[in-house]
């Protein structure tokens, strides 16, 4: 790893024992990542309060290292009515932050009205607010003008009921509509036809294996490049491949010269890259190229998620594994969605390239030293507290370490996207 990207530990204020951040991607209609919902996942319910949960997230977002994340993606944060009064709201720039405000019982009309002044103040300060679809009821008519987003939970609403709520929302509000708990492509297409523009759920990352699907020529060349780099082939052999695929050469140099890599001088040729990095380090950057070769029907969010997974695994492995194994951890993270990216089985995809045994073991069998890091990485994308707790315990990782790596990985992915 380049010296400019050596991590610094989290300060104690950004997390606490047993408290960790989880994320879910929010996609736009083109299935690109619009933003992330961040929520606290407590491993010890008695160790926190509503205010401290929100403070954990706001403190994390206020870290200077995460400016690229907060400036490029909209961040949705679960709040409580108690936490909305906390001073931690002063720690972040409000323009890219959406406060997810929970509903109150419909019968508590006076209490609902009493919250209006505070919500108005937050809006005046620049914060956007998201409400559940219950905001469309008469009890919440004082809240509705404050809604920038309205969320529809598909685990609660039946598909046939969504259309009526969407029609009501578009007639009574200018809010952007978000469908959450989207589990299938069919649900996405139905909601798209109804006019919903933002979607939450990891249906897009589920592999769809297509009968007779083959890798495209660009994908084949990337796999050949990975194979040549992995086998420590001569620079002349690798350059010969790059000469026949100008886009491959361009993307390789673009990644190496990106802000996320932190090179002090511009790399202008493959020979220059080998001189500065060596073939071992180029292995992970060649793997990263696969995220640029997505099929036209693959959601762009898949590539983004693969990049985040790779960087997160690499950062988690820093204090546990050797430098070479950290590079291998990166490859496992990026390749963990290879079947989704290519539309073929993981076995068929990996048959086209020579990989270290521990990489293959983790991807194909969920075994070996890197498999445990992959479990943590995937657990960061869900709200399954038990799986997350088990995964970090197996590696003796603290919530501080995971929070720091998680946010840094999200921010790093943004530097590559620019």
For the chain, what is the mean pLDDT?
83
| Residue 415 in this model has a pLDDT that exceeds 70 | yes
What average pLDDT does range 131-147 have in this prediction? 95
Structure tokens at 83: 């936490």
What pLDDT does residue 374 have?
97
Q: 267 or 116: which carries more pLDDT confidence?
A: 116
The percent of residues above 70 in pLDDT, for the chain, comes to 84
**Topology given in CATH for the domain delimited by 3-202:** TIM Barrel (3.20.20)
Long-range CB pairs of 242-250, under 8 A, 24+ apart, other chains included: 242/270, 245/218, 245/221, 247/218, 248/218, 248/221, 248/222, 248/289
| Residue 257 in this model has a pLDDT that exceeds 90 | no
Strands 19-27 and 33-42: antiparallel
What pLDDT does residue 394 have?
94
What average pLDDT does range 341-348 have in this prediction? 90
Question: Most confidently modeled of 10-14, 15-19, 92-96, 155-159?
Answer: 155-159
Least confident of 1-15, 213-227, 247-261: 1-15
Q: What is the per-residue pLDDT across 81-131, written as a single tens digit (0 to 9) for each? A: 877 876 777 777 788 889 999 999 888 889 999 999 999 999 999 999 999
Least confident of 9-18, 72-81, 380-389: 9-18
What average pLDDT does range 238-259 have in this prediction? 82
Helix or strand (DSSP H, E) at 132:
strand 128-132
> What is the pTM for the complete model shown?
0.85
Q: What is the per-residue pLDDT across 367-385, written as a single tens digit (0 to 9) for each? A: 999 999 999 999 999 877 8
What pLDDT does residue 85 have?
75
CATH of domain 217-380: 1.10.3210.10
Closest CA to 372 of 400, 396, 355: 396
Q: How far is CA 332 from CA 16, 134, 370, 375, in A?
A: 29, 42, 8, 11
Helix or strand (DSSP H, E) at 376:
helix 369-379
What pLDDT does residue 71 have?
67
pLDDT band at 262 (very low <50, low <70, confident <90, very high): low
Contact status, residue 83 vs residue 48, Cβ threshold 8 Å: no
- The CA-based dihedral angle spanning residues 237, 238, 242, 248, taken in that order and rounded to the nearest 10 degrees: 160
Q: Where are the domains of the chain?
A: 3-202, 217-380
| Residue 225 in this model has a pLDDT that exceeds 70 | yes
| Residue 344 in this model has a pLDDT that exceeds 90 | no
Question: What is the number of other CB atoms lying within 10 angstroms of the CB of residue 371?
Answer: 16
What average pLDDT does range 303-327 have in this prediction? 93
Q: 37 or 267: which carries more pLDDT confidence?
A: 37
- The CA-based dihedral angle spanning residues 400, 406, 407, 409, taken in that order and rounded to the nearest 10 degrees: 140
Helix 270-288 crosses helix 235-243 at what angle (to 10 degrees)? 70
What average pLDDT does range 181-200 have in this prediction? 93
| Residue 270 in this model has a pLDDT that exceeds 90 | no
Do 3-202 and 217-380 come out as alike in CATH topology?
no
What average pLDDT does range 290-310 have in this prediction? 85
Question: Most confidently modeled of 2-6, 208-212, 279-283, 340-344?
Answer: 340-344
What pLDDT does residue 154 have?
92
CA 159/CA 260 separation, integer angstroms: 42
Q: 78 or 43: which carries more pLDDT confidence?
A: 78
CA 78/CA 95 separation, integer angstroms: 16
Structure tokens at 129: 């607010």
pLDDT band at 12 (very low <50, low <70, confident <90, very high): very low
């Amino acid at each position: 790893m380049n010296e400019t990207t050596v991590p610094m530990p989290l300060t104690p204020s950004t997390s606490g024992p047993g408290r960790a951040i989880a994320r879910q991607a929010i996609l736009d209609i083109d299935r690109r990542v619009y933003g992330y919902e961040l929520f606290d996942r407590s491993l010890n319910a008695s160790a926190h309060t509503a205010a401290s949960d929100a403070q954990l997230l706001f403190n994390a977002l206020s870290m200077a290292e995460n400016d690229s994340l907060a400036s490029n993606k909209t961040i949705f944060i679960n709040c409580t009515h108690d936490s909305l009064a906390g001073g931690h709201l002063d720690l972040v720039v409000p323009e890219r932050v959406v406060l997810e405000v929970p509903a109150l019982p419909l019968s508590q009309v006076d209490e609902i009205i009493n919250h209006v002044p505070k919500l108005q103040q937050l809006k005046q300060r620049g914060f956007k607010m998201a409400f559940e679809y219950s905001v469309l009821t008469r009890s919440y008519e004082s809240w509705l003008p404050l809604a920038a987003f309205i969320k529809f939970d598909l685990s609660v609403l039946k598909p046939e009921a969504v259309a009526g709520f969407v029609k009501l929302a578009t007639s009574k509000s200018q809010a952007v509509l978000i469908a959450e708990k989207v589990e299938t492509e069919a649900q996405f297409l139905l909601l798209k036809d109804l006019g919903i523009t933002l979607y939450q759920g990891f249906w897009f990352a589920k592999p769809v294996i297509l009968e007779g699907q083959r890798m495209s020529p660009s994908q084949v060349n990337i796999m050949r490049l990975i194979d040549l780099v992995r086998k420590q082939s001569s620079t002349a052999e690798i350059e010969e491949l790059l000469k026949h695929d100008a886009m491959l050469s361009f993307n390789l140099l673009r990644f190496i010269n990106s802000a996320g890599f932190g090179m002090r001088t511009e790399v202008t040729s493959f020979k220059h890259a080998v001189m500065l990095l060596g073939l071992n380090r180029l292995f992970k950057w060649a793997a990263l190229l696969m995220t640029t070769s997505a099929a036209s029907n693959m959601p762009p969010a898949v590539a983004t998620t693969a990049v985040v997974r790779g960087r997160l695994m690499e950062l988690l492995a820093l204090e546990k594994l050797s430098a070479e194994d950290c590079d291998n951890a990166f490859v496992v993270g990026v390749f963990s969605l290879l079947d989704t990216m290519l539309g073929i089985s993981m076995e068929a995809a990996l048959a086209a390239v020579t990989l270290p045994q521990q990489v293959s073991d983790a991807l194909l069998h969920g075994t070996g030293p890197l498999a445990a890091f992959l479990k943590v990485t995937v657990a960061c994308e869900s709200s399954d507290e038990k799986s997350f707790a088990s995964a970090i315990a197996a590696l003796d990782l603290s919530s501080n370490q995971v929070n720091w790596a998680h946010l840094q990985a999200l921010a790093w992915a943004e530097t590559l996207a620019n």
